[in-house]
Structure 1
Amino acid sequence: MSDPKAKKPVDDVTGTETTGHTWDGIEELNSPLPRWWLWTFYATVVWGIAYTIAYPAWPMVSSATSGILGYSTRGEVAQDIDAFREASAARDSQLASADLATLSENEDLYRYAVSSGAAVFRNNCSQCHGSGAAGAKGYPNLLDDDWLWGGNHEAIAYTVRHGIRNEADDDARYSEMPAFGEILEEGEIPMLVEYVRGLAGAEHDAAMAEGAAELYADNCAACHGDNGMGDREQGAPNLTDAIWLYGGDRDALTETITYSRYGVMPPWGPPRLTEAQVQAVATYVHQLGGGEADPAE
């Protein structure tokens, strides 16, 4: 075994001590690292230690060390949010108590409502209604003029504030369609499907539809109306416009009539959203293209 204290051989060409390692006759020089590199490395070590002391760094069981400066990016963001809210407090107060029917007369407040309402929509509504508000199967399209409960400013705000068919808000809009699979005789549902398709102007079996006229009058007209145009007071859809929330083909209509539908929308009023945010998102949705005129005073 070689003596580790023995002097290392020196390379004849460079005069530099070697490590004693040789590969294919090539010796490895034991060249020292540049001083600038060493000092830079030492500085980064010192900086790293100082950083872990000053800032949050080491993970613990349920949190992390907070650092002697107590800094956090979450706290910085919270400060920015608080500053924005403080700057917007006056306009939010105005918006919370504004009459949405006349809001457009205040151009500055209206623009603020639309822009802030767009942010509220993206954060809270787009998951169901889509980023462009075009909806999906079971989730209403907010761009058209087909409104189950009404599409003027106040009607939209009420729906946002209280939701639909939920158990969290006593003022939620509520309607319930019976499951006619438990009520009608076998063979009657296909006849009703043809009748409803006929109301919407879709291709249908006229003979079957004619035979279902009495069935419709006895079971459906009380909510959807004799003419099938629905009733907003009850949240009963218009069956004549060919706009279907769950689909208007025979299979979809058969499922709807047999088992009924029961979509739920949570209430978004305080404390979930502020009243100003409810007013803002109602204004945003109304101006998307399908908003209806407000009732005359």
Structure 2
Amino acid sequence: MTDATDPGRRHSAGHHGGDRPVDPVTGHETTGHDWGGITELNTAFPRIVIWALVLAFSYSVIAWILLPAWPLGHDYTRGLLGLDQSEEAVREYREMERARADWLAPFASAEFAALASDAPLMARAMPAAARLFADNCAACHQAKGTGGPGFPNLVDADWLWGGDPEEIAETLRVGVNSTHPDTRVSQMLAFGRDGILPAGDIELLVDHVLALSRGEDAADGPGAELFAENCAACHGEGGVGGLGIGAPALNDGDWLYGGSPGQIRTTLRQGRQGVMPSWEGRLSPSEINLLALYVERLGKGNRNEARE
């Protein structure tokens, strides 16, 4: 572009063929457009760009002919080379399976103590276990297993169904409230919705559970008898939990569905029924056992870090 307000340039600017003004510096015609004294050059389209477009179009035509490209409803054109990326993906997956078969095979056994004591094997397997956890568990239990609203914390000392590898593997296999015929079953009663307890009793239980969570001795409190009659069978005397039936501890301040008075009241009124899918059929027995050992170690590692 040139500045048409420059007297010298304006004076020396001529007309090329009597059609458009010519810029005296570059020798290119201008478009005749003027923006506040600045004129636009009418330069030729760069040849390198033209050739790039030609080459790109030529390549696309060749690719359309040689490679799978065009959709045809439920199918697609195969291309003259007959390449099939789905077959390549399956072949690469099978190669990966063969590569890890030598170290994954021992996990088909449920001899968890022997597996855990094999340090070289565990060192090789744990990165794969971490990927299994990230791909299948972290969406609910979080990347470090710390859980969230409705999803248990896997790194604390409390286990709803037991924290030994055998119990963890069984929970993974059958799930909780899942469609598996052997699923673990757990349900918090809806004391208010189903008319089991009146509103006044529910309020007494809210106060009692809050006292338990603070570590207070509430054995003689107004809600103690109600708790013993309606809650202790699942949550244990004093709300200690740990009965292996899916009922969490209530005396540690670690809450599955929230520990505010309103959240506890909602739980008592409406009930709770969490779901964990069954992983049998989705993961192999070896992968389930490997994941069980990983979850156990995950909890131990995080608790050790917390103590340090």
**TM-score (normalised: structure 1):** 0.79
Q: CA deviation at 1:46?
A: 4.5
CA distance in structure 2 between the partners assigned to 1:103 and 1:149 by the alignment: 22
The number of equivalent residue pairs is 269
1:217 aligns with 2:228: yes
Please give the alpha-carbon distance, in whole angstroms, between the structure 2 residues aligned to 1:273 and 1:185: 45
CA RMSD of aligned residues (A): 3.2
Contact 1:116-1:277 at 8 Å conserved across structures: no
Match of 1:185 in 2: 198
* DSSP-derived class of the 2:237 partner: coil
In 1, Cα distance between equivalents of 2:51 and 2:207: 86
* Cα separation, partners in 2 of 1:44 and 1:194, compared to 1, 3 Å: closer
Does the Cα contact within 8 Å between 2:164 and 2:296 map onto a contact in 1? yes
| Residues 1:286 and 2:288 aligned together | no
Q: How does 1:13-92 map to 2 (within 5 A)?
A: 22-24=19-21, 26=29, 45-92=57-104
Cross-structure match for 1:13: none
Q: Which piece of structure 1 moves more, 228-237 or 169-178?
A: 228-237
Is the deviation greater in 176-185 or in 91-100?
Answer: 91-100
Change (3 A) 1:64 1:233: same
Deviations 1:168-201 (A, max 9, x none): 1121111222111121122111111111111122
Question: Identity rate of aligned residues, in percent?
Answer: 38
Contact (CA 8 Å) 2:215, 2:252: kept in 1 or not? no
Letter of the structure 2 residue corresponding to residue 211 of structure 1: P
Deviation per CA, 1:70-101, whole angstroms, max 9, x where unpaired?
A: 22444333322111101122322221124112
Task: Give the residue type in structure 2 aligned to 1:192.
Answer: L
SS at the partner of 1:24? strand
| Matched residue, 1:227 | 238
Change (3 A) 1:128 1:87: same
Q: What's the CA shift string for 1:226-245, capped at 9, x where partnerless?
A: 22212523222221111110
The change in CA–CA distance for 1:261 and 1:23 in structure 2 (over 3 A counts) is: same
Structure 1 spans left out of the alignment, 5+ residues: 1-17, 293-297
Higher relative contact order (CA 8 A, sep 6+): 1
**Alignment partners' CA distance in 2, 1:130 and 1:170:** 27
Deviation at 1:262, TM superposition (A): 0.4
2:254 to 231, 237, 243: 243
SS of 1:171's partner is: coil
Counterpart in 2 of 1:273? Answer: 283
| 1:11 match | none
